[in-house]
Amino acid sequence: MAVHGERVAFYGGYGEERDRLVHGEIVETSVEQADVGLLTLPDGSVPGRRRVVARGSRIYVQADPFTTWGVFDLNS
C-alpha cells in the first residue's frame, strides 16, 4: 500500500490478480476505488516472481533475478 495525501494505491492480489494495482481516494472513513490496472515493468511485462516493499508514496518492486528495484511513486 502506498499513500500520498488523500490518494492511495494497493498492489497485489491472488491468482490472476497477483499484479493488480488499485488506485483510490480516502473519503471520510473509507477508500473509494478510482481505477484498477496492472503494475508492469518498463518493458511492459508483469513482474512474476518478485519482492515488494512499500514506504510512504512509493511501492518498490524487485523482480526475478532480483538484481534491480523498480519504483512506482503515487506522488508522480
Higher pLDDT, 42 or 72: 72
- pLDDT of 18-36, one tens digit each? 999 999 999 999 999 999 9
Q: How high is the pLDDT of residue 41? A: 84
Q: Is the bond preceding residue 42 a cis peptide, omega within 30 degrees?
A: no
Domain containing residue 27: 2-73
pTM for this entry = 0.85
Q: List C-alpha distances in Å: 36 to 7, 18, 43, 64.
A: 14, 12, 20, 24
Q: How high is the pLDDT of residue 6? A: 96
Total number of domains constituting the chain: 1
